[in-house]
Structure 1
């Protein structure tokens, strides 16, 4: 695959903030990749390069990252032949020369990596998921839809960031997404009836001011039933409280609602109570990224009851994931492309997790774009579940629409993950 040109530009993400789009031309075929951006980010994530020039986009411009690709990277790589995604991404990593991609920026490197993968697939006239991983059979994922937003994703009084529904009792992805959308619209009617706002947060979930954090779970349960489904049997609940954002002076501060401070043990107690009371099948970032001792306690207590997903604590980084495996931390890894910065490294992270019987939960970012790469990624890796926001906003549903296309294209070469993904004991 001979690369003839890399061209980057500054475009906008779903928040109206700048991000990097890259076009890569190989074998006469040009394709694009776009990098997303997160709001609640892990300390060990690969670095997103911003200009810091307050006269443009309040310092969030990405002209430095764009210039690095258009000048240095294009000059160094144009005209070269790359035999694989690994070879292309390793060359990017070599040019950057830092441990955390801080010189060229993970945002520019990821956009280039995605563009190369897409151009490679196009030049071979195969779908992107087959370019990423070639299989005889693929698994279509359960969509974990973020229907109530809080934390840093919404200007409301809910401390916990994401309350999700997982419509798993369906024969196909197509039917699963239908079930989820029906609950989403039913939830809107319920919230309106209760006098709550139905404005949405960054990821398209409703962002009302509620009486408590727990009321978010209760109103979702009500919506599932009112839509004609059975909680736990047809549709279960997943949580991402994003507790690293709540960590303050050695405790977890629920500063939006009760003003209470929780120790690690107290927060584990809360999660256990909720898991026993509600059909919660997945808990992401139940404790903060630096609370390894707490994570071990939580895993020992809850690891057989629920999928415990590490996001901030792992940052899609194979080296850190291995440390977690060795320490017995969690049983699942959240996979975010821009946390590590290249397609190849992301696939390495997935392979490591799956070889050690950890689940992989493929994820978008709160600052998203129309790029649908994660839809192909979740199918390629047979990860079985994906989160990409709620039942509205085009940058979210574009991923669902791509999965509908993929399922139709695969036909008998795919099966729906369904209940096999969530087995609550």
Structure 2
């Protein structure tokens, strides 16, 4: 036993001696003493703790890069008090797990206004199913899919997320087919033969043929079915954003700079421009007690020559004037000869109700009334419309009864040379746009892009490249039910979006994004990377550019008279 123990001791001694020799050779080969001496000489004025910090930073470069070790999903409430998904990212750094960051993705559901209780209950149930499915995806599968990846490898992360989502889509398809096949065949009842149509009413003697009988009513095209959204898809977009934010945190750069590097092939651009503001100042549509169903919101766009801070100050001043109109009592209603009041002429234009878009709701009945209100406010403030400030209208076209694309084309042909025509809900989701590579239907100057569902950071980079290649505008837009997460602003700046649509300057979930805009602009100015925005250029499609000015003028002016009444055309010309 003694000899055996002595032999083992000698073996350990030889191993230690061998390790010492290898370490000495490594230090001599890499000249570590000289490097340490240079480091200490360069930091002689620092405290010992600072010296150790420099040493730690130096040797950390030789350590294994951070890797994803844990992804956690949680259900939180958004700005409307509705459930949505939060994703947290933890990474292994120098062999220790460490929490890095979290993000919140808004749900894609629209906010129901004046809907029936059963419709609201159905939408809430569907929202809960979507969020719970996303929570299950994150906590049970996605960590395993991304474990060990470097957060800086966004392309590989998004590739794995895309494959994961495609498998989920296939599983859902197979499940539905299995459910259909498992159902017992039901014998279809015999077809019911409809009764013959009643004979047309006989024309009475002396009765004149009315005009209504001579015109055939245009059939109403049924609405297109909504694009299906797989429950759980929020997990894909949220996880992709969380990884991008974690990568930015670990490399010590802002999220917008990380996104800019992704768009420009890992090269940080020398200049970044701030997106132009699209601030909602009046809420209309179905939330209005009036009859403004054809106008969901009135939007003000500060001039491109203004900074973001100047633009926000301008929007705040307009909002302040709108509030004053609300506080002003309405004029007394004039009495008619019969003692009755004159209808709604003396009604209060502002209801005082704050909409989910972050602006006040109006109580008007005609389209020109809210526009004239903004025109009067700008006149009182000395703001020249079309110069310091531009107006925009969200007409909520997808809520109208007529789904014929010809109507949209008619509006584009009438107005495209004088203003931007932007497609929001009329365009497809980002994944469908990338699948078909067609962003020109319907005709528009640009698209509103929302970061929801399965949209990854790679998808956002690709869709902005596609839009830029078509010389159209990219607008990053907030959803109807927003959260307090301000990552959308970083995405807009990093991707070089032309506009950002955040709603009004009220409600915390929207104001926090305006504050983030101010912070980013200040950072860019201090670092010398702030670039000015281009002027508005209401350019049409290439085929429009080939037409003569006379043809464009004839095409532009004629439809206005048929779309709007003459008095509205006159007022819009003044605006």
TM bucket normalised to smaller: 0.7 to 0.9
Distance in 2, Cα, partners of 1:218 & 1:326: 33
1:340·1:346 contact (CA, 8 Å) conserved in 2?
Answer: no
Determine whether 1:79 maps to 2:195. no
Distance in 2, Cα, partners of 1:7 & 1:340: 17
Measured after TM superposition, the shift of residue 168 of structure 1 is 1.3
Structure 1 alignment gaps of length 5 or more: 42-51, 252-287
Distance in 1, Cα, partners of 2:353 & 2:482: 18
Determine whether 1:108 maps to 2:108. no
Distance in 2, Cα, partners of 1:169 & 1:80: 41
Map 1:181-192; keep pairs closer than 5 Å: 181-192=316-327
Determine whether 1:359 maps to 2:473. yes
2:247 is matched with which residue: 97, 103, 120? 120
Distance in 2, Cα, partners of 1:89 & 1:298: 38
Measured after TM superposition, the shift of residue 152 of structure 1 is 4.8
Measured after TM superposition, the shift of residue 37 of structure 1 is 2.6
1:18 is matched with which residue: 72, 80, 83? 83
Look up the match of 2:176: none
Look up the match of 1:415: 531
Look up the match of 1:34: 104
2:281·2:298 contact (CA, 8 Å) conserved in 1?
Answer: yes
1:215 is matched with which residue: 369, 372, 385? 369
1:171 is matched with which residue: 306, 309, 318? 306
Distance in 1, Cα, partners of 2:466 & 2:123: 41
> Greater helix percent: which structure?
2
Measured after TM superposition, the shift of residue 217 of structure 1 is 1.4
Look up the match of 1:256: none
Map 1:131-146; keep pairs closer than 5 Å: 131-133=258-260, 134-146=268-280
1:295·1:330 contact (CA, 8 Å) conserved in 2?
Answer: no
Look up the match of 1:389: 503
- What are the superposed Cα offsets for residues 88-132 of structure 1, whole Å, 9 maximum, x if unpaired? 122112112139895562322222121111111001000001100
Measured after TM superposition, the shift of residue 408 of structure 1 is 0.6
Look up the match of 2:162: 93
2:387 is matched with which residue: 197, 210, 233? 233
2:286·2:292 contact (CA, 8 Å) conserved in 1?
Answer: no
Q: 1:102 to 1:392 in 2, by over 3 A?
A: closer
Measured after TM superposition, the shift of residue 31 of structure 1 is 1.2
> Greater strand percent: which structure?
1
2:103·2:242 contact (CA, 8 Å) conserved in 1?
Answer: yes
1:316·1:334 contact (CA, 8 Å) conserved in 2?
Answer: no
1:316·1:333 contact (CA, 8 Å) conserved in 2?
Answer: no
Measured after TM superposition, the shift of residue 191 of structure 1 is 3.4
Give aligned pairs, total: 372
Measured after TM superposition, the shift of residue 326 of structure 1 is 5.5
Larger-gyration structure (1/2) = 2
Q: 1:175 to 1:212 in 2, by over 3 A?
A: same
Determine whether 1:202 maps to 2:202. no
1:299·1:328 contact (CA, 8 Å) conserved in 2?
Answer: no
Q: 1:236 to 1:55 in 2, by over 3 A?
A: closer
1:203·1:389 contact (CA, 8 Å) conserved in 2?
Answer: yes
Measured after TM superposition, the shift of residue 296 of structure 1 is 3.3
Structure 2 alignment gaps of length 5 or more: 1-65, 112-118, 171-226, 261-267, 331-347, 541-575
- What are the superposed Cα offsets for residues 51-103 of structure 1, whole Å, 9 maximum, x if unpaired? x9x79965532222212210121233223345522221221121121398955
TM-score normalized by the length of structure 2:
0.60
Q: 1:299 to 1:39 in 2, by over 3 A?
A: same
Distance in 1, Cα, partners of 2:277 & 2:498: 9
Larger RCO of the pair (alpha carbons < 8 Å, separation 6+): 1
